[in-house]
């Protein structure tokens, strides 16, 4: 029974993390809005199964990396409250990972949408 409670709590903690992400991070809100727009457009364009798969994977990747970026920034701020070049580097690299995924999402969107227009 204790294991089941711990398992359920782990999901609650994860949902709390998502709530913090969406409540405090402007870019996460922007990415989520973009995902919602893509989903609406996907229904309008009647995407096929493989197209939905691509949209789902790339959308999840962008949002997950935004969460990881937020976690990295939070831990770096905790560990290094004053400016430090290595702290800056860690934060910049984490943000760069989100940028790579976001650019890939634009490519996926273009490959799916442009032929349909």
User: 105 with 79: CB under 8 angstroms?
Assistant: no
The single-letter DSSP state of residue 91 is H
Establish whether 51 is a catalytic residue: no
Q: What is the CATH number of domain 2-116?
A: 1.10.287.3610
Predicted TM-score (pTM) of the model is: 0.91
User: 108 with 58: CB under 8 angstroms?
Assistant: yes
Q: What is the residue extent of each domain of the chain? A: 2-116
Q: Which of 51, 66, 73, 82 is catalytic?
A: 66
Say what the alpha-carbon torsion angle 19, 56, 101, 87 is, to the nearest 10 degrees: 30
Residue 100 has pLDDT above 90, yes or no: yes
Residue 108 has pLDDT above 90, yes or no: yes
- Determine the pLDDT at residue 116: 86
Contacts of the segment 18-27: beta carbons below 8 A, 24+ positions apart = 18/67, 21/66, 21/67, 21/70, 24/70, 25/66, 25/70, 27/66, 27/98
- Determine the pLDDT at residue 41: 94
Structure tokens at 79: 């560990």
- Determine the pLDDT at residue 33: 97
Render pLDDT for 42-97 as a digit per residue (tens, 0 to 9): 999 999 999 999 999 999 999 999 999 999 999 999 999 999 999 999 999 999 99
Q: Closest Cα to residue 4, out of 14, 12, 18?
A: 12
């Amino acid at each position: 029974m204790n294991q089941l409670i711990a398992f359920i709590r782990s999901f609650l903690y994860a949902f709390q993390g998502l709530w913090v992400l969406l409540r405090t991070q402007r870019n996460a809100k922007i990415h989520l809005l973009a995902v919602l727009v893509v989903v609406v457009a996907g229904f309008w364009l009647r995407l096929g199964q493989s197209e939905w798969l691509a949209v789902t994977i790339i959308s999840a990747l962008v949002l997950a990396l935004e969460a990881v970026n937020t976690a990295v920034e939070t831990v770096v701020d905790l560990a290094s409250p004053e400016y430090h070049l290595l702290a800056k580097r860690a934060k910049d690299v984490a943000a760069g990972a989100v940028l790579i995924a976001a650019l890939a999402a634009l490519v996926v969107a273009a490959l799916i949408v442009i032929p349909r227009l």
